[in-house]
Structure 1
């Protein structure tokens, strides 16, 4: 034991030198500071136009109707109405509210603080001669974030058209998801359907004649299975170009097709126009996947003419469209636009 202790004492000066050199190295080393993302909850522009109130119906007078397309949007915004914190409505908003012709709300509910930054679709209520629908007019999606002090911020972008404007509401908030609970229908529509085999519905039909087909004039009843030239087809579940499928506004579904185990689900119907895949909205339809690798649809009359359901014999998308939270970094913010992908 004594010899061990003696050896330890001999090496002590060497250890001291090593520690001294290490301290010098650390003292002169350059440490790069960590980059912190700018939190939009504390870096926003206040938007406090009183005319945006959901209770303002001045939009009935077209000359007074506001348009957010002329605004130079930049970054994140927090809404106020008469010094009261507000939010963009997440339920149906009546036309001519919020001081505009088409008041804009969001769908999918507001996020919670733990959700981070999410993307939400923007909708405008519309009325046709025979129908009305909360999302008849779509606009580019926006990003939304819930903040710790019970308020929300939005990365606003120019709407697709005039006169569209973002609405502001001081009422209740919907933070519920819009997931659809599968239902069972009897008799089973997989074996009780009507065949829809119009060749003009093909996604490859891009005839530019002045005669466009309109499914608004069809007396829809029950479930349908699509065929193109004796080949089983389905309604497209990705963006479809305008003037396809023998019509002006070709209708497709978003949210992907279900699997057999999903049962009957509801899917939103969209139509492309003016560089946006869901510019024209229509009433949702029910969809079911059948064991023989085909699909049936409970079709309804579209909101507008000339619009018609499209038919495609290509691939199927069965992926859900849940929104993945994203992280905002300085200088790396992009708008979640749904541009038609064949244009670019």
Structure 2
């Protein structure tokens, strides 16, 4: 009895899971084409025009494939499922190549929703999706809607049980993301008791300021500079950015507005591991922002998960706030600073 209910439910659940994956991925990529271009750039595939063309076509291809899996009759279903398996296999190869080359780039698998840099966990997730597509090709004879129309009551009950399990797993996966958002909101809404010291913004190390890591970075002339010395006459908002990072583009677009709003109260400085030529080509709008090299040592010393990240360095050689990790927390920290610094002209900051 159980088997007769579960098997028909699986024939609906398997393609439905693939439809959900490709729908989310396609829609997310439509709003974040730069992410796909960044991945292709990291792979050194084609010129800029070719990368833009692929970034435009890929979301549509994923949504069309989702539609095929949703309504496909017999015969077409196997074609669509094997095509999905092939596409996911290609994505897995891309992630593997990025890992092998050591690139710190967001996979762009789900557009701006996937801000973390590629990792072995990304590769395992993609391989699991390949296995899902193969199982769908082998077991599911028709698409989601045709299979659902003939599903008996017991099958619908079993499908509901599978949906509960899937939603529970999804909630666990998103738990860290929710935590990041809560931390970002808490930082953004925290008022400053003393704007000069930024004391109330402190949050990264159990609410206390902590010493700036004892390391050196490289300036535009190739000279070694002590990190703590960057905040000589005024606080510095240190932005860690990569030239191969989709969320970093969002932060880079906002930096000129933030610097204008900070006025003379806080200086924005960028820290990267990319060459200056590569950084300038990726972020032409940051030509006026001081750029230093050597963020890998800072990432290793502080245990950061990746970029974008930010620290507020005080003139007393301490980290007054941070680290802010991920685009949401970086935005929250910058906006919290902007809300309290005395500036003659308050510049509105808008994020794309």
User: Which structure: greater strand fraction?
Assistant: 1
What TM-score, normalized to structure 1? 0.27
Structure whose CA Rg is larger: 1
Q: Which structure is richer in relative contact order (CA contacts within 8 A, separation 6 or more)? A: 2
User: Which structure: greater helix fraction?
Assistant: 2
